[in-house]
Chains A and B, each alone.
Chain A
Amino acid sequence: MQETKAQSERRGFDRVTSLNEAAKELISRSFRVDLLALDAMVQSKRGGGSLRGFDEVSSQMRSWSRDLHRELEELRHLSREVVVNVSTASKEDHLLRLLARAAASTGDELATKAVALRETGQTERGQQLNVRWRRVLSSLGDLDQLGMMAVVLSRSAMIEASSGNPEQRAQLNDVSQEFYRNSEAVVAVLKALLKVMRQAEP
């Protein structure tokens, strides 16, 4: 069945709001993940030379969390641009519909020209939006890769944690597990978001 203009507009808003909300959640999770990575580094330093393996993994976790944060900032920036783009397009579309009705009912040359001018603007805006959506999808793809790496890293951290003494083991295991849980949550949000974005691809 042919989608109406109103349905398509609502879908656009839904898509952009999903992206925006997910970006906000991911940013807030990324702060937690960064703290955990830092905690892991501190704990491994405390363990001295006996935790060389965990030391290496925790450095990678920290470096990973920085990469994640950078990528998410880029996604947030893109998300803000898309929000403005979609809301502006919606406003212009509303005016265009009213103008087009006036032009159609009168055949007035001035109104017809005004419609054509606005249509050109909307086409350009649509192209701009498509480019931005592609950048969003590409950014999400990169983030998805990063997410996978985090799960692998946290598993390695859990294995390396077992090499410490019993007291260290418990602490390292806690931090590794929490890192794992947060990484999994990041991956889950990303996967859900990618699904929504791909389904909604124009």
Chain B
Amino acid sequence: MKKAATLFESGSHRWQVIARDPERPSHLIDTNEYLITSGTQVMITDPGGQEIFPAVFSALSEVTDARNLTHIFASHQDPDVISSLALWLALKPDIKCYTSWLWCTFIPHFGGEHDTFIPIPDAGMQIDFGDRALTVVPAHFLHSSGNHNLYDPTAKILFSGDIGAALLPPEHDGLFVTDFDQHVRSAKGFHQRWMGSRDARDAWCTRASKLDVELLCPQHGAIYRGRDVQRFINWFAELEVGVLRLGE
């Protein structure tokens, strides 16, 4: 089963990651779910696919009362991101799901009512959450056409969805990036294939460089911390990406 680990804690404001399931079948891509708690509110980012719901729910229950879950943040519409939605709503029907306006009529195919979704405009938005504010940062076409990251200026954490993701070999199961050069070898192919637009990549790198980020937290693979955050942004800025690569 997955385990939860605390990434940041200050008073009632907390970030935890749910990661690394040794029992996960190898045909399912590994995912990281992040739990953000502030005051009485709890949000889970990209809660995962329905197949891993028992593992995520179980790990979440270890660290918080699942009945306190108030929000879901879905960076985009992929099945490994949000296909478990109906199951979370079975647990608590009044959970609200933040996602790009673009997907507000698509994701209901996984579950949810008309009032489940809070559409995020293309430019992003501010979310008043507990006693803090979170910033939704646009990351369109990286890889989804309606795609957002979530930035917490208090914790200096950027949840980056698929950006920064790495498909790590089973022996590299550490929570944090420890050897950047080796790590990006596992991230390269993923970013070159999935990130289809150089313009979108450049815009994101400029935007991300302006944020004060201590932890860059992707949905797959290890977390970048400290200097590795900017190293990743620089590496990504230089990487050959884009649909034209397919013809090469």
Binding site for B on A (CB under 8 A): 6, 9-10, 13-14, 16-17, 20-21, 80, 83-84, 87-88, 90-91, 94-95
Contacts and interface: CB of A to CB of B under 8 A. Distances in A.
Given A83-B61, A90-B53, 15 more contacts: A6-B90, A6-B93, A10-B91, A10-B93, A13-B92, A17-B66, A20-B66, A21-B65, A84-B58, A87-B57, A88-B54, A91-B51, A91-B53, A94-B90, A95-B50
A107 B91 CA distance: 31
Contacts of A16: 61
Contacts of B61: 16-17, 20, 83
B14 to A, nearest CB: 16
Interface in B12-63: 50-51, 53-54, 57-58, 61-62
A88 B62 CA distance: 16
Contacts of B1: 84
A11 B212 CA distance: 43
Given A87-B58, A91-B50, A91-B53, A9 B65 contact: no
B67 interface: yes
A53 to B, nearest CB: 42
18 contacts: A9-B90, A10-B90, A13-B91, A13-B92, A16-B61, A17-B61, A17-B65, A17-B66, A20-B65, A90-B87, A90-B90, A91-B53, A91-B54, A91-B87, A94-B50, A94-B87, A94-B90, A95-B50
Contact of A14 (B50, B53, B67): B67
Contacts of B87: 87, 90-91, 94
Contacts of A90: 53, 87, 90-91
Contacts of A95: 50
Contacts of A17: 61, 65-67
Contacts of B54: 84, 87-88, 91
Interface string B108-128: 000000000000000000000
B86 interface: yes
Contact of B57 (A6, A9, A10, A83): A83
B86 A94 contact: yes
Secondary structure at chain B's binding surface: helix, strand, loop or mixed?
A: helix
A13 B50 contact: no
A90 B85 CA distance: 12
Contacts of A88: 54
B70 to A, nearest CB: 15
Contact of B58 (A13, A83, A94): A83
Contacts of B90: 6, 9-10, 13, 90, 94
A28 B66 CA distance: 18
A87 B56 CA distance: 10
A17 B65 CA distance: 7
B116 to A, nearest CB: 14
Contacts of A83: 57-58, 61
Given A87-B53, A91-B53, A91-B54, A13 B86 contact: no
Interface string B73-89: 00000000000001100
A84 to B, nearest CB: 5
A13 B93 CA distance: 12
Contacts of A6: 90, 93
B108 to A, nearest CB: 14
